[in-house]
């Protein structure tokens, strides 16, 4: 597949890295010669210096025979015009644009991005994606990462193993014997920064980040087994009243009347806007690094303190102060990927990487075959994939023990009709089943091939 990516920032570079690793033909366009040079030096991708919405630049990038354009520059208008030019002049089949400004995304203007207006096939809003990620983590206290598949019936959960974890040093083969009602599949373990797919003889160790898959109704029991019995957040403090903070507060007001939310916003004008938009949320004008302000917001007694400003350092420091005051759980928005390990080592419970969240969302629309959902795990080292099994798939109609899955790929769950099945050796995948698979990054292409539509299907 030939893909043009407009924008060589963190998101553009992340997408280019992933797609080039999978042997796609990738060209990255950016006005910065330094960023383009970085792409050319570090990736198997071509770089073009120029303006992403200019016809001559797109022509040099190979738009005439491109299969897709992904516009993720810092400017919404450039992204939108890039897609328009790619459609009108080069007839590029698939166009994806990142759009930050919420005004463009208001439901009353939904016709703007129709084929007759601005022909963009997929709109990605980083603020909304990050906001949804925050809400998912609030719903699963104790997990540092969570993602739903198969209409939320299946959950992928990431947990960090502490000293008091009951299953430390236990072979995976013994989990079902010790906890017959557990019904989970451990699909990935990150140990000392390296991700691997475990086999039944592997043990989990203190300090591991463990990823498991289970039915939605089994999540609480599974977290108990892993030693995470944190309370559901009833008192939430949000530091930062920008688009993300406002979205999270609005959703909490709408979906859960029992949660008390307070926002701290340093900019007075923005604080007034947030106060006007919200009904039950208390908005405080002040500095999130000020202990007095944090005390007024009730951070010392909050089950969750979430830092969502535009400044990574402020987010990390505010979370540390809140933790020291007594806040139970802290979540920080961290844009710089090199800061995420630092945040974790300092005791912040969860670092939210908007780049990784946006990359995951975009890649979901890039995948081929019957891929229905996707989530990038551990900075792109692995992916959770939801796919629909067709009768032509080599996985259908035989026990899983007889299916020769390559190393680095594991089936986490199967959804047949409305039933979530925890896979065993004698489990058979049937036509139409939704299959949730964990795959290391270099195995993703093989997963696509397993679920690609064969000519025999027609």
Over the stretch 271-302, which tens digit does the pLDDT of each residue have? 999 999 999 999 999 999 999 999 999 999 99
Give the residue from 231, 230, 280, 288 showing the smallest Cα distance to 260: 280
Residue 159: inside a domain: yes
Residue 352: inside a domain: no
Assess whether 80 and 162 both reside in one domain. no
Assess whether 308 and 381 both reside in one domain. no
d(CA 276, CA 397): 57
Residue 277: inside a domain: yes
Assess whether 197 and 304 both reside in one domain. no
Total Cβ atoms within 10 A of residue 199: 11
The pLDDT assigned to 263 comes to 97
Assess whether 155 and 97 both reside in one domain. no
The pLDDT assigned to 368 comes to 57
- Could you say which of 281, 311, 327 is where a domain stops? 327
Assess whether 10 and 119 both reside in one domain. yes
Assess whether 302 and 373 both reside in one domain. no
* Domain total of the chain: 4
Q: What angle do CA 65, 70, 72 make, to 5 degrees?
A: 145
Domain hosting residue 35, numbered range? 2-124
d(CA 409, CA 406): 6
pTM of the predicted structure, to 2 decimals: 0.80
Instruction: Find out whether 355 and 418 touch, Cβ atoms under 8 Å.
Output: no
- Could you say which of 62, 95, 124 is where a domain stops? 124
Assess whether 32 and 117 both reside in one domain. yes
- The phi and psi torsions of 186 (rounded to 5 degrees) equal -80, 115
d(CA 134, CA 94): 29
The CATH code of the domain that includes 59 is 3.40.50.720
What's the helix, strand, coil split of the chain in %, to 5?
Answer: 35, 25, 35
- Could you say which of 62, 92, 124 is where a domain stops? 124
Assess whether 18 and 100 both reside in one domain. yes
Residue 77: inside a domain: yes
d(CA 63, CA 57): 9
Assess whether 107 and 27 both reside in one domain. yes
pLDDT in tens for each of the 458 residues of the chain? 899 999 999 889 988 987 887 778 999 999 999 999 999 999 999 999 999 999 999 999 999 999 999 999 999 999 999 999 999 999 999 999 999 887 888 777 777 887 778 888 888 888 888 998 899 888 888 888 898 998 889 999 999 998 888 889 989 988 888 888 888 999 999 998 899 999 989 999 998 999 999 999 999 999 999 988 877 889 999 999 998 999 999 999 988 778 999 999 999 999 999 999 999 999 999 999 999 999 999 999 999 999 999 999 999 999 999 999 999 999 999 988 788 878 878 888 888 888 878 877 787 777 655 677 778 888 778 989 998 888 888 888 889 988 888 889 999 999 998 899 999 889 999 999 999 999 998 888 788 777 765 434 32
Assess whether 262 and 179 both reside in one domain. no
Over the stretch 157-168, which tens digit does the pLDDT of each residue have? 999 998 888 889
The CATH code of the domain that includes 214 is 3.30.70.1450
């Amino acid at each position: 597949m030939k893909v043009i990516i407009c924008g060589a920032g963190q998101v553009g570079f992340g997408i280019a890295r992933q797609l080039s690793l999978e042997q796609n033909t990738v060209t990255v366009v950016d006005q910065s010669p330094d960023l383009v040079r970085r792409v050319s030096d570090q990736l198997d991708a071509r770089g073009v210096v120029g303006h992403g919405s200019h016809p001559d630049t797109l022509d040099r990038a190979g738009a005439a025979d491109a299969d897709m354009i992904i516009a993720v520059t810092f400017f919404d208008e450039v992204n939108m015009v890039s897609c328009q030019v790619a459609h009108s002049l080069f007839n590029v089949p698939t166009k994806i644009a990142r759009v930050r400004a919420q005004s463009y995304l208001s439901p009353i203007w939904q016709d703007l991005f129709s084929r007759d207006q601005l022909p963009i096939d997929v709109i990605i809003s980083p603020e909304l994606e990050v906001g949804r990620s925050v809400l998912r983590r609030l719903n699963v206290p104790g997990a540092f990462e969570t993602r739903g598949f198969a209409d939320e019936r299946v959950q992928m959960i990431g947990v960090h193993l502490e000293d008091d974890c009951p299953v430390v040093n236990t072979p995976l083969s013994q989990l079902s014997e010790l906890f017959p009602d557990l019904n989970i599949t451990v699909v990935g373990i990150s140990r000392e920064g390296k991700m691997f797919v475990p086999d039944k003889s592997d043990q989990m160790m203190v300090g591991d980040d463990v990823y498991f898959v289970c039915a939605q109704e089994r999540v609480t029991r599974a977290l108990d087994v892993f030693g995470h019995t944190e309370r559901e957040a009833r008192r939430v403090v949000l530091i930062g009243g920008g688009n993300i903070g406002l979205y999270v507060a609005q959703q909490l007001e709408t979906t859960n009347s029992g949660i008390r939310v307070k926002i701290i916003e340093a900019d007075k004008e923005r604080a007034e806007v947030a106060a006007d938009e919200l009904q039950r949320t208390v908005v405080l004008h002040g500095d999130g690094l000020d202990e007095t302000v944090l005390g007024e917001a009730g951070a010392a007694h909050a089950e969750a303190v979430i830092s969502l400003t535009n400044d990574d350092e402020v987010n990390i420091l505010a979370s540390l102060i809140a933790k020291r005051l007594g806040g139970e759980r802290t979540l920080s928005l961290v844009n710089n990927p090199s800061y995420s390990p630092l945040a974790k080592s300092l005791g912040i419970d969860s670092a939210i990487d908007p780049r990784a969240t946006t990359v995951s969302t975009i890649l979901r629309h890039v995948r081929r075959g019957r891929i229905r959902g996707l989530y990038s795990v551990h900075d792109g080292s692995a992916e959770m994939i939801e796919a629909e099994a067709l009768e032509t798939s080599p996985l259908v109609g035989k026990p899983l023990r007889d299916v020769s899955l390559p190393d680095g790929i594991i089936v986490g769950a199967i959804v047949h009709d409305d039933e979530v099945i925890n896979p065993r050796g004698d489990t058979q995948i049937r036509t139409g089943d939704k299959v949730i698979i964990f795959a290391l990054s270099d195995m993703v292409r093989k997963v696509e091939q397993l679920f690609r539509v064969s000519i025999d299907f027609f």
